[in-house]
């Protein structure tokens, strides 16, 4: 599965869904119709997107939206950005201020469920406990987002955030910059 097909699947699920939970269900259903190898390839592309979004500016956005940032919350935030589709995802990497102008619902709750889509689709396709290695396990050696992930870009200090990202601050902190 190439990157284009990966994003097409994400975009279709986004367009057809009524909310994030429904989008997860749609993604699982869509992927379960594919060949096993394509489900695994989806997991690879997903991990690549996670890696591309391992940036300090995205971490700053997560901090502003959630009031804190940890390894897990940063990961879940990036998952949620992926679920919003290719255009917003790439624009946010360039400038997270676009998030403030978007209509993302419940961004602060993250997107942990995205981490398990390929596994759930694989199980749905093969039925229950297949005894086969799941996509997340197969992709672990390819790209492990749990360990040693290098964050790209310019680091920041918390007191700089209202000035670096005023639109995000205004939307999610509901405070003035004064």
Predicted confidence at residue 144, as pLDDT, reads 78
For 90, the token pair is 């790439």
Number of Cβ within a 10 Å radius of residue 111: 21
Are 117 and 79 within 8 A, CB to CB? no
8 A C-beta contact, residue 30 and residue 13: yes
Tens of pLDDT, residue by residue, the chain (178 residues): 999 999 999 999 999 999 999 999 999 999 999 999 999 999 999 999 999 999 999 999 999 999 999 999 999 999 999 999 999 999 999 999 999 999 887 777 789 999 999 999 999 999 877 677 899 888 888 887 777 678 999 999 999 999 999 999 999 886 444 4
Q: What does DSSP assign to residue 96?
A: T
Tokens matching residue 135: 């996509």
Distance (Å, whole) CA 151 – CA 53: 9
Confidence (pTM): 0.92
The confidence score (pLDDT) of residue 73 equals 93
Alpha-carbon gap, residue 115 to 75, rounded angstroms: 9
CA-nearest of 102, 14, 92, 13 to 60 is: 92
Question: What pLDDT is attached to residue 106?
Answer: 74
**Residue 55 φ then ψ, to 5°:** -135, 150
């Amino acid at each position: 599965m190439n990157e284009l097909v990966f994003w097409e699947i994400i975009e279709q699920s986004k367009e057809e869904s009524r909310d994030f939970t429904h989008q997860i269900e749609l993604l699982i259903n869509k992927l379960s119709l594919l060949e096993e190898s394509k489900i695994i390839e989806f997991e690879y592309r997903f991990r690549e997107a996670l890696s591309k979004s391992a940036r300090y500016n995205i971490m700053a956005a997560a901090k502003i939206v959630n009031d804190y940032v940890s390894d897990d919350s940063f990961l879940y935030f990036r998952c949620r950005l992926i679920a919003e589709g290719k255009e917003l995802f790439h624009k946010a990497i360039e400038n997270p201020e676009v998030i403030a102008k978007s209509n993302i619902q419940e961004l602060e709750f993250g997107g942990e469920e995205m981490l398990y889509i390929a596994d759930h689709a694989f199980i749905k396709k093969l039925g229950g406990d297949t005894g086969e290695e799941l996509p997340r396990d197969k992709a672990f050696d390819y790209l492990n987002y749990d360990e040693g992930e290098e964050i790209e870009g310019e680091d920041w200090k918390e007191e700089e955030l209202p000035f670096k990202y005023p639109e995000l601050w205004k939307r999610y902190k509901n405070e003035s910059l004064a």
